[in-house]
Chain A
Amino acid sequence: MKEEKKLKVFNVGTSWFVKPLEDQGIEHYNLDWSPPAKIDKDISSILKKLGRK
């Protein structure tokens, strides 16, 4: 008999996929992540001076 493995899901990015996992009682972890924004050099430099990014 095949052993049934418990599913664990690691979701990266959009949280839309989390709700169905929750609904099905599947163990999951969600990382709220999006690709880094493409930022102009001078904007990036200003943000750095403000201790951001």
Chain B
Amino acid sequence: MDISEEIEKSNKKAFDIMNRGKAMLTDFDYAGKAIPGMKENMILHAGPPIAYSDMIDPMKAAVQGALMFEGKADSLEEADRMARSGDFEFKPCHEMNAVGPMAGITTAGMYVAVVENTEFGNKTYCNLHEGRGKILRFGATGKEVLERLNWMNNNLGPALKEVVKKKPVDLKNIAAEGVQMGDELHQRYRASSLLFLSSISENLLELPNAKEIFKFIAEREQFFLNLAMPAMKALADPADGIKYSTLVTRMTRNGVNFGIQVSGLKGKWFTGKVEPPVGLFFTGFSQKDAAGDFGDSAIMETLGLGGLSSAAAPSVTRFVGGSVKDAIHATELGYKITYGQSKDILIPAMDFRGAPLGIDILKVNETNILPTINTGIAHKQAGIGQIGGGISHPPLKAFNDALREYAAAYGL
């Protein structure tokens, strides 16, 4: 078999694995208990590897806030000193089977969702959704942020644990339904968040604190974000490490670099500089305020959602500064760089074609078409939070370098 045949065979295998998997929400627990290998002194972050000193301000602030939340520091200054001391191990969420939106900062004492791909037996993890505005994932660290995180740990997490233990939730099914109802599952989660709430309501309403839990989820239209992300990671991970495969299994950014990983080059990061996303800004803010793109949420595009399924969510196009034609065009471009289409997640506006699935570095390199990422825009200064929404693209360099490494690894 020549290498082209090997590639086709292995890509079909990786694609089938991504397509066939299931993503069941089965538990909530402390990261330190749930995530294998998680340590007390470990701090997980979004994106490819980065040292604390190189992080953008919102991510640094989120680290400081997390150390205060854990009770390890009494002030941001003390937390900053601790983070620089070398006593803490910083790791990408992705390298611990986890994902985190925006800063993605996850520590042992935080509650995480546990998602299981029941077809392949792997598990993934993600911290809980705080909402919008002043939140840790955007680098806000005020009293109300830490109080909310404590409430989530003491109330939201344990309540959801009880609920999903009684009845696990099929997250892939909700994602598919959400796309039918106008979500593209990166910028817009309104339908899928309500579908999630509906799916747990029977068991949730039996709890004594049901009203406050219900209200917290109902008020957060992106609540499903922190469940969809580990769901997509759970589908992607078993497709990683397939010899010869040129399909992308991870795309993520840390505010400085955008990183991708490729199935046939297991464990290697290929990176390039991130640019601030381009889009529309809330009143009083402009492009000059925008931070470099960050967060593990590009796992949604890795599995064909978000920007690649833009056509599913015409209402998002106005938020990110485009037209419906732009949205359809982004999805059409997605089909040009992917192996095939999702069998379960269908896009009504594309005549019910499946979402573009299985980004192929060969197709990206021969066309120079880069996946469109739908994303929130954060202020570059810590604590201000989201200032708009827009789109970004990975750097072509990451895909070029991946192909160069592929050629070296397979003797081309």
Q: Are A50 and B3 in contact (CB under 8 A)?
A: yes
Q: Are B329 and A43 in contact (CB under 8 A)?
A: no
Q: Are B404 and A43 in contact (CB under 8 A)?
A: yes
Q: Are B412 and A50 in contact (CB under 8 A)?
A: yes
Q: Are B362 and A47 in contact (CB under 8 A)?
A: yes
Q: How far is the CB of A19 from chain B (nearest CB, A)?
A: 9
Q: Are A47 and B365 in contact (CB under 8 A)?
A: yes
Q: How far is the CB of B264 from chain A (nearest CB, A)?
A: 13
Q: Are B368 and A37 in contact (CB under 8 A)?
A: yes
Q: Are B400 and A40 in contact (CB under 8 A)?
A: yes
A2 in contact (CB, < 8 A): no
Q: Are B4 and A50 in contact (CB under 8 A)?
A: yes
Q: Which residue of B329, B365, B400, B403 has the most chain A CB atoms within 10 A of its CB atom?
A: B365
Q: How far is the CB of B225 from chain A (nearest CB, A)?
A: 31
Interface size on A, residues (CB 8 A): 17
Instruction: Give B217-253 as 1s and 0s: 1 = Cβ < 8 Å from A's Cβ atoms.
Output: 0000000000000000000000000000000000000
Q: Are A46 and B412 in contact (CB under 8 A)?
A: yes
From 12 to 70 in chain B, residues with beta carbon under 8 angstroms from any chain A beta carbon are none
Q: Are A43 and B332 in contact (CB under 8 A)?
A: no
Query: How many CB-defined contacts (below 8 Å) exist between A and B?
Result: 42
Q: Which residues of A contact B366 (CB under 8 A)?
A: 37, 39, 47, 52-53
A25 in contact (CB, < 8 A): no
Q: In whole angstroms, how far apart are the Cα atoms of A38 and B365 in the complex?
A: 10
One of A15, A37, A43 near B403 (C-beta < 8 A): A43
Q: Which residues of B contact A14 (CB under 8 A)?
A: 329
Q: Are B362 and A52 in contact (CB under 8 A)?
A: yes
Q: Are B367 and A46 in contact (CB under 8 A)?
A: no
Specify the main secondary structure of chain B where it touches its partner.
Answer: helix
From 347 to 380 in chain B, residues with beta carbon under 8 angstroms from any chain A beta carbon are 362, 365-369
Task: Give the nearest-CB partner of B369 in chain A.
Answer: A37
Instruction: Give A26-53 as 1s and 0s: 1 = Cβ < 8 Å from B's Cβ atoms.
Output: 0000000010011110110011011111
Q: Are B365 and A16 in contact (CB under 8 A)?
A: no
B146 in contact (CB, < 8 A): no
Q: Are B400 and A43 in contact (CB under 8 A)?
A: yes
B325 in contact (CB, < 8 A): yes
Q: In whole angstroms, how far apart are the Cα atoms of A53 and B363 in the complex?
A: 10
Q: Are B325 and A16 in contact (CB under 8 A)?
A: yes
Q: In whole angstroms, how far apart are the Cα atoms of A17 and B223 in the complex?
A: 38
Task: Give the nearest-CB partner of A16 in chain B.
Answer: B325
Contact (A49, B412) CB under 8 Å given A16-B325, A37-B367, A39-B366: yes
Q: Which residues of A contact B403 (CB under 8 A)?
A: 43, 46-47
Q: In whole angstroms, how far apart are the Cα atoms of A14 and B368 in the complex?
A: 16
Instruction: Give B307-334 as 1s and 0s: 1 = Cβ < 8 Å from A's Cβ atoms.
Output: 0000000000000000001001100100
Q: Are B404 and A50 in contact (CB under 8 A)?
A: no
Q: In whole angstroms, how far apart are the Cα atoms of A17 and B7 in the complex?
A: 36
Q: Which residues of B contact A38 (CB under 8 A)?
A: 368
One of B325, B329, B368, B407 near A46 (C-beta < 8 A): B407
Q: Which residues of B contact A34 (CB under 8 A)?
A: 367
Binding site for A on B (CB under 8 A): 3-4, 7, 325, 328-329, 332, 362, 365-369, 400, 403-404, 406-407, 412
Binding site for B on A (CB under 8 A): 14-16, 34, 37-40, 42-43, 46-47, 49-53
What are 10 residue pairs bridging A and B, where the CB atoms are less than 8 Å apart in the complex?
A: A37-B368, A37-B369, A39-B368, A43-B403, A46-B407, A49-B3, A50-B412, A51-B4, A52-B362, A53-B366
